[in-house]
Amino acid sequence: MTETTAAEIIHRLAGELKIGEAQARSAAALLDEGNTVPFIARYRKEATGELDEEQLRRLEERLRYLRGLEERRREIVQLIAAREKLTPEIERALAAARRLQELEEIYLPFRPKRRTRAGVAREKGLAPLAEMILEQAPGGAEESAAPFVDGEKVADIGEALQGARDIVAEIVSDDRRVRQQVRAAAYREGMLQSQVAAGAEAGVYEHYRDFREAVASIPSHRLLAINRGEREGVLAVKLALPEERCIGALLRLYPADPESPLAPHLREAVEDSYRRLVASAIIREIRTALTEKAGEQAIRVFAANLRALLLQPPVRDKIVLGLDPGYRTGCKAAVVDETGKVLATAAIYPHPPQRRSAEATRMLTALIERHGVELIAIGNGTASRETEELIAALIKELPRPVYYAVVSEAGASVYSASPLAREELPDLDVSLRGAVSIARRLQDPLAELVKIDARSIGVGQYQHDLNQNRLAAALDAVVESCVNSVGVDLNTASRALLEHVAGIKPAVAKNIVDYREEKGRFRSRAELLDVPRLGPGTYTQCAGFLRITGGENHLDNTAVHPESYALAGEIFERAGGERENLGSLDAAALASELEAGLPTVRDIIAALQQPGRDPRDELPPPLFRAGVKELADLSAGMVLSGTVRNVVDFGVFIDIGVGRDGLLHRSAMAVGRRFHHPSEVLSVGDVIEVKVKAVDSERERISLTLT
């Protein structure tokens, strides 16, 4: 890539992201050097002008796209030049293209095609006749076509004219002006329509039985629902375009001369081009584009929900009993201590078909009393409701307070059967590992959930219908961001957690754990350099995100990077060696005096003020319960506390403790201001008060409003 092209990319990046060119250039250079986004955002603020993680990830994505665009531009120039068709006009058009779609449309007429009707006609030598139709040459149609009839390749005048019209139709369809006109009309006036397919039962797609909505306004969740219904064979879907207006626009691009005998043939060719070639191509393109846009929206929602879930505050220093509910196979129970170590396990059978509830109560009471259980985590899957009733009755009879919380068990079965679970809990049956995971999720959601493919956590919408590579990349970025924003205890972190620390690859994470098991606790961050395959580059990326409590250097338990230890020492001296004096320091004056960057000085002061800080501790704790309600107990107007379980485009699902989440529809979220998406108002894990609007007992649906 030339220096000029690279400079143009930086200029465009800066414009798109509304940042300075120096910021874009520095960030791109840091990424090219192999630095991770969390490291750049946290420890290279001076270089990037304090670009945050979101800006850096967007820059990284756009940089990749724009470089790919330039590479494809060069390829197309070479391909067209090789065919000796590259004109100054085409070269200028290619240079001006700003999107990949524009490049491909310019290249379309030159792209090698499979055997088409127009190709067959060209082989028969009918291209000159097609030119006559396009130019509206004088002379009658039969007179113009007669010289091309040879009795072998072209049998008669009708075949000649048909072949010429096929060539014209293809020329029209390859014209990017045509596609631009039809595309614009489709986005402006197109209607997406669906009906229940012949012989199918509408089921959950009843809303889409006779459905139509403008392409310009259809929301993402409805489009994804329609797509799924179509894939399942329940819905017949059609994208209707304004045909008359589109054909009229094409005829203005290819006007027929009313005086020319060839005018009807041009009009017929243009209409055929639209109906046979252009409309179908644009419909496919628009449906793909709409699906991609809806998918990106769904991925953003999933990512936002995942971030909120991962950053739920940990429940520290509590002994927890985890319950993985079930019917026939029973409920699995596991008690873990404050560090997540398994103390005891059991299987109970309180529900049908065994119905041994008295025995289950005795066993659970014994576990609670023997191990000093303070909290109970109940998985929210099959038999969760019945298990919650059992626990609510049990804790009322205990001599001391014990509380419970319902915990999402999404992905617990995936973890239980994984190699990591076998490695961590080799002596436990697969079913019991799920109970351990549920208990640990309450203690530290982040540390436990990183062990599971984020796509299995279940806080999205239509996640199985999305581009799985894009979804995985977006969710991995969220996990990486959360892990590094919180920081990781080097001496207790699992291999799965370490793998998400900036710069640490799976093999290096394993080596860290192996080194810790062989040598004992890390006493300093510098000791990381003794870990096999963890070189200076990796150390630079990861060290600031790893914490050591009770180590040789108190800075190892802060977010201060080792490269800034000397600076941190000088700042601490200016505070008289007293943490309470740090708040009175003038960061700007200190940065000038010490010839250091102001953002770094500010961050060091903040880190020194709160060593070992976990940002999750500043969030409200999860909602714990001591009782339970029945769905039948609910009535309109009742006010309840609930926990947000999922946020989607059309509203928020809230657990109010009745075994069935209630829906707070976006239309019921009157918050005194306009909002684009429910995620701007509520996040997964939020504890709020809601009012019951309506209860549909037959369909087990609960409608809620904000109090």
The 8-class DSSP code of residue 575 comes to T
Q: Pull the structure tokens for residue 47.
A: 């270089």
Residue 452: HSE in the Cβ half-sphere, 13 Å Cα cutoff:
26
In this prediction, residue 642 carries a pLDDT of 85
pLDDT at 2 over 90: no
Is the distance from CB of 229 to CB of 207 less than 8 angstroms?
no
Tell me the CATH number for domain 320-443. 3.30.420.140
In this prediction, residue 628 carries a pLDDT of 58
pLDDT, average across residues 465-480: 94
Q: Are strands 210-214 and 191-196 parallel, antiparallel or unpaired?
A: antiparallel
pLDDT at 629 over 70: no
pLDDT at 630 over 80: no
Fold that domain 117-298 belongs to in CATH: Tex N-terminal region-like (1.10.3500)
Question: Among 25-39, 108-122, 495-509, where is mean pLDDT lowest?
Answer: 108-122
Q: Which helix (H) or strand (E) holds 214?
A: strand 210-214
Per residue in 656-699, pLDDT (tens digit) is 877 788 999 998 987 677 888 999 899 998 888 899 999 888 88
Per residue in 63-79, pLDDT (tens digit) is 999 999 999 999 999 99
In this prediction, residue 545 carries a pLDDT of 98
Model confidence at 627, pLDDT cuts 50, 70, 90, reads: low
For residue 404, the tally of other CB atoms under 10 A from its CB is 24
What residues does 329 pair with on adjacent strands?
none
In this prediction, residue 138 carries a pLDDT of 87
Rounded CA-CA distance 563/592 in Å is: 19
SS3 assignment, position 663: strand
Looking up tokens 């040789």 gives 552
SS3 assignment, position 347: strand
Q: Is residue 353 reached through a cis peptide bond, with omega within 30 degrees of 0 on the bond before it?
A: yes
Q: What is the dihedral of CA 446, 451, 456, 461, to 10 degrees?
A: 30
pLDDT at 192 over 90: yes
Per residue in 328-348, pLDDT (tens digit) is 999 999 999 999 999 999 999
Closest CA relative to residue 465, chosen from 229, 237, 219: 229
Rounded CA-CA distance 76/64 in Å is: 18
**Highest CATH level, class, for 487-552:** mainly alpha
pLDDT at 558 over 70: yes
Question: Alpha helix (H) ranges present in 45-149?
Answer: 45-48, 53-82, 88-96, 100-107, 117-123, 127-135, 141-145
The 8-class DSSP code of residue 461 comes to S
pLDDT at 575 over 70: yes
In this prediction, residue 529 carries a pLDDT of 98
In this prediction, residue 641 carries a pLDDT of 83
pLDDT at 261 over 90: yes
Fold that domain 631-706 belongs to in CATH: OB fold (Dihydrolipoamide Acetyltransferase, E2P) (2.40.50)
Model confidence at 626, pLDDT cuts 50, 70, 90, reads: low
- Region of 125 on the Ramachandran plot (φ > 0 left; ψ -120 to 50 alpha; else beta): left
Show me where the domains of the chain are located: 3-110, 117-298, 320-443, 487-552, 558-610, 631-706
Level-2 CATH architecture, domain 3-110: Orthogonal Bundle (1.10)
Rounded CA-CA distance 506/463 in Å is: 26
pLDDT, average across residues 588-600: 96
In this prediction, residue 561 carries a pLDDT of 98
pLDDT at 623 over 80: no
In this prediction, residue 289 carries a pLDDT of 96
pLDDT at 620 over 90: no
269 contact partners, CB below 8 Å, separation of at least 6 = 133, 164, 165, 166, 168, 169, 172
Rounded CA-CA distance 153/134 in Å is: 22
pTM exceeding 0.85: yes
Q: Pull the structure tokens for residue 59.
A: 């820059």
